[in-house]
Amino acid sequence: MSPLRFRAATLWCLGLMAGACAPKASEKTTYRVLTYSSMTGEKSLGAALEENFEKACRSSGPNLVCDLVLVPEDGDASLVATYLKKPESFDAILGLEALQVAQLRSKIAIASASLFAKGPHAFIVDTEQWKDTSKWPTSWKDLSKFPKSAFVQDPRVSSVGIGWIKAIFVERLLSLGNAKQITKKVFPSWSVSYSAFQKGGAPLVWSYQSSEAYHRCEEKTDRYRVLPLIEGYPTQEEFVVIPKRSASKESEILVSSVLSQEIQSQIPLKNWMWPALDTTPLPDCFKAVTPVKALTDLDTEQSSTQLRDWMDQWSL
């Protein structure tokens, strides 16, 4: 081999070696978070979170993936079902209810589950349909005397519906028979049920205590109010969940962002829940909401193992 050809071959080999040894640019360009649809949108809490996360991420050092993308749940599927269908597509899940967290934990390893928002469920009453407050039921037993009075949600596809299941099977506020008796219709989602309620379809809808706050804050009306039942209501707790396979510096930043004072202070008026940090100041319209006793499931792991059976009992 001539010296010229030998030199060219050597350089070619060195080039191959350099290419093999050089660090490859990461194919990952976005940090993807699965969440429910109302968390996305221009003026949503998710939009504020994106800005907070990306700012914190970029100031935390080089080589981090700081482009946060919030992916809304897949149609009528629950967040758990959507994640399990394609777990490699998501780095975190935002908005899982406590029983859903336990449900997911039975399927995959979880690095962390951090509470970021909470609030009791409640029946919301349309005072135009049920004007005489003296005739409102004051207990769950009294409520059972009003058949076909309430809209509720399907717990198989709605976290609000899981709250309804909790009322029946966890807190035992009413029997399964009475629950079915007072139900006028079961809807696939909270938004559809609430829309039908506001159109006059039923005097009651299963929702959140904070729904009253929404009407007071946004619409300046007290037409839609919490039905104050003396036994109280089950509480929904929402978590940001980091699967173990996705644990990273970016995941730590996400949790810190969700629990930052900046984001926690926006939860009442953008997520319509109470912030996890009790020291967070509340808007005046939240302070005017009808108070209820908040009930919390003390054994979510046990409840999660029975959830499917409860859903089947309710759906039959």
Nearest residue to 184 (alpha-carbon basis) of 212, 213, 204: 204
Q: Where are the domains of the chain?
A: 31-118+236-282, 120-235+290-315
Positions of the chain with pLDDT lower than 50, given as ranges = 1-25
Picking from 295, 260, 263, the residue whose alpha carbon sits closest to that of residue 163 is 295
- The answer to whether 239 and 178 are in contact (CB under 8 A) is no
What pTM does this model have? Answer: 0.85
Q: Answer for the pair 114, 272: CB distance below 8 angstroms, yes or no.
A: no
CA–CA separation, 97 and 101 (whole Å):
6
CA 60 to each of CA 57, 82, 133, 243, 254: distance values in angstroms, whole numbers, following the listed order: 5, 31, 55, 22, 12
Cβ of 3: how many Cβ atoms within 10 Å?
7
Q: Residue 75: what pLDDT?
A: 63
The alpha carbons of the chain give a radius of gyration, in whole angstroms, of 25
Q: Report the distance separating Cα 255 and Cα 253, nearest Å.
A: 6
φ/ψ bin of 286: left (φ > 0), alpha (ψ from -120 to 50), beta (otherwise) = alpha
CATH numeric code, 31-118+236-282: 3.40.190.10
pLDDT number for residue 13: 43
Q: What is the reported pLDDT for 77?
A: 66
Residue with the two structure tokens 């009790």? 278
Q: Which pLDDT does position 298 carry in this prediction? A: 81
Q: Does domain 120-235+290-315 have CATH number 3.40.50.2300?
A: no
Position 188, amino acid: P
Do the domains spanning 31-118+236-282 and 120-235+290-315 agree at the CATH topology level? yes
